[in-house]
């Protein structure tokens, strides 16, 4: 089994996409994360869902998590809505993960090693310069542990 | 909205559970990760799917990812099956993530901050000493970005 046989189509957003719409995309489709491309469509970052969740966390709370407790419930409930109008580039985590990229002929182990090393539940699969799609950790586990291809 | 209203029931495995069966559990149910408890049922680790994927990666490949390329496709395809009979404690990542734990009255922001800080797509919700359940990043995003509770 090679990566080319495992790829899934996956929605991508750009650095200029609206952060609220991007969060809603992953929420609606219950995606494992988000692929962020640059203007030319080349993948730049792969964000896991825990990083997309961090879009909602104000900078001062990220610096001092204890401050999360001072935000009341009503304001917290509006945290997602307040992202409307903000581009993704402004809410990216400070050190977005290294992009996991594998070749089309990568094996299960090569894919697993790339995900383990970058600690992200997504890897991009390329054939030369072309992006074929992504493989999610869920898909890889399904193929490896159950043998199911659906 | 408080964490107690957001909890989901979630299957847990123990440190002594079979690593293959544990991987199949998350694969079958397409879970975001795995809760690992100790003998007394207390959650010890929360592993994201990229860490469960790493169960399949031999130690020498984790130390030197370039070695993933020397394992041929047929052997790689059998990586999951070879975990049968191995306990989860033997394939845990070297530095399993800090456990994200929040109180039952935690807000959306407190949950998001806990997931962002630990960089895991799951947080355990406790009421005093009792484990109420977990909240996944997917569920949190769904509630925060779409307002849907189903």
- The first and second tokens of residue A85, run together, are 């109008």
Instruction: Calculate the alpha carbon distances from A112 to A2, A137, B77 in Å.
Output: 12, 8, 11
Q: Do A23 and B141 count as a contact with CB atoms less than 8 A apart?
A: yes
Q: What is the SS3 assignment for A58-97?
A: CHHHHHCHHHHHHCCHHHHHCCCHHHCCCEHHHCCCCCCC
Distance from CA of A143 to the nearest CA of B (A): 8
Question: In terms of DSSP bridges, do strands B122-127 and B43-48 run parallel, antiparallel, or are they unpaired?
Answer: unpaired
CB neighbours of A59 closer than 8 A, spacing ≥ 6? none
- On whether the CB atoms of residues B130 and A12 are closer than 8 A, the answer is no
> Which phi and psi angles does B93 have, rounded to 5°?
-60, 150
Does the beta carbon of A84 lie under 8 angstroms from any beta carbon of chain B?
no
Q: Does B32 touch chain A (CB under 8 A)?
A: yes
pLDDT (tens digit, 9 = 90+) per residue, A92-108? 887 666 778 899 999 99
Give the tens place of pLDDT for each residue, A65-79.
Answer: 889 988 999 999 999
CA distance B9 to B53: 22
- Whole-angstrom Cα distance, residue B134 to residue B140? 11
The answer to whether residues B48 and B33 touch, using CB atoms and an 8 Å cutoff, is yes
Instruction: Please report which helix (H) or strand (E) contains residue B101, including its range.
Output: strand B101-103
Looking at residue B40, its pLDDT comes to: 79
- Radius of gyration (C-alpha) of chain B in whole angstroms: 17
Tokens of B50: 């990229």
How big is the A-B interface in CB pairs under 8 Å? 194
Q: Pick the closest to residue B107 from A61, A119, A29 (CA basis).
A: A61
> Which of B64, B72, B95, B113 to substitute to test the interface with A, most A CBs within 10 Å?
B113
Give dist(CA B110, CA A71) in Å, integer: 9
**Which pair of tokens denotes residue B89?**
């404690």
- Contact A132/B at CB under 8 A: no
**Partner-chain contact A116 B142, CB within 8 Å:** no
Chain mean pLDDT for chain B: 88
pLDDT average, residue stretch A46-51: 86
pLDDT in tens, A104-121: 999 999 999 999 888 888
Residue B120, pLDDT > 50, answer yes
In Å, how far is B132's CA from the nearest CA of chain A? Answer: 20
Q: For the CA atoms of B115, B119, B124, B126, what is the dihedral angle to 10 degrees?
A: -60
**Which chain A residues are within 8 Å of B1, Cβ to Cβ?**
73, 76-77
User: Rounded to an integer, what distance in angstroms lies between the CA atom of residue B36 and that of residue B89?
Assistant: 9
CA pseudo-torsion sign B1, B2, B5, B8? positive
pLDDT above 70: percentage of residues in chain B: 96
- Residue B41 distance to chain A (closest CA, Å): 25
**Does the pLDDT value for residue A11 go beyond 90?**
no
Taking the Cβ of residue B29 and every Cβ of chain A, the question of whether any pair is shorter than 8 Å is answered with no
Question: Considering only CB atoms, which chain A residues are within 8 Å of B108?
Answer: 56, 76-77, 79-80
Contact B115 A54 (CB under 8 A): yes
Kindly report the nearest CA distance between residue B78 and chain A, in angstroms. 8
A109 touches chain B (CB under 8 A): yes
Both tokens assigned to A46: 């792969």
Distance from CA of A110 to the nearest CA of B (A): 5
Closest CA to A63 of A54, A76, A52: A54
In B, minimum Cα distance to A103 occurs at B69
Q: Strands B12-14 and B33-37: what pairing?
A: parallel
List pLDDT tens digits, range B52-107: 999 999 989 988 888 998 899 999 999 999 999 999 999 988 766 677 889 999 99
Closest CA to B145 of A116, A24, A32, A128: A24
């Amino acid at each position: 089994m090679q990566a080319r046989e495992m790829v899934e189509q996956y929605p991508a957003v750009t650095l200029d996409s609206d952060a609220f719409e991007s969060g809603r995309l992953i929420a609606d489709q219950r995606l494992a994360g988000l692929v962020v491309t640059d203007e030319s469509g080349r993948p730049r970052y792969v964000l896991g869902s825990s990083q997309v969740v961090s879009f909602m966390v104000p900078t001062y709370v990220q610096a001092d998590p204890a401050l999360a407790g001072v935000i009341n419930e009503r304001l917290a409930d509006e945290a997602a809505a307040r992202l409307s109008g903000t581009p993704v580039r402004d809410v990216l985590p400070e050190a977005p993960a290294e992009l996991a990229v594998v070749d089309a002929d990568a094996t299960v182990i090569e894919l697993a090693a790339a995900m383990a090393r970058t600690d992200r539940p997504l890897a991009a699969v390329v054939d030369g310069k072309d992006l074929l799609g992504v493989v999610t950790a869920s898909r890889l586990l399904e193929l490896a542990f159950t043998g199911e291809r659906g």
